[in-house]
Amino acid sequence: MIYVSQLVIYPIKSLRGIAVDRAVLDRTGFQYDRRFMLVTADELVEAIHHEQPAALAII
């Protein structure tokens, strides 16, 4: 039998995750999982060339 021993979501890609008791699965994966990432200005310019600019935001 297979079971899940722990669920962890990572709201900001490559940073510490948050252990949760349950998670909602939507069309892109677990809700709130890897929805944001931190980049330098140079990395943002590179990402714009590979991603849809409407999906990117600077905070």
Q: What is the pLDDT of residue 51?
A: 57
Beta strand extents in 1-59 (DSSP E only): 7-9, 18-20, 25-26, 29-30
d(CA 5, CA 56): 34
Q: What is the pLDDT of residue 47?
A: 67
Sketch the domain layout of the chain as residue ranges. 7-55
**pTM for this entry:** 0.58
Mean pLDDT per block of 10 residues along the chain (59 residues) reads 92 89 90 83 70 56
User: Which two tokens mark 56?
Assistant: 């990117």
Q: What is the pLDDT of residue 8?
A: 94
Q: What is the pLDDT of residue 43?
A: 76
Q: What is the pLDDT of residue 23?
A: 92
d(CA 26, CA 29): 5
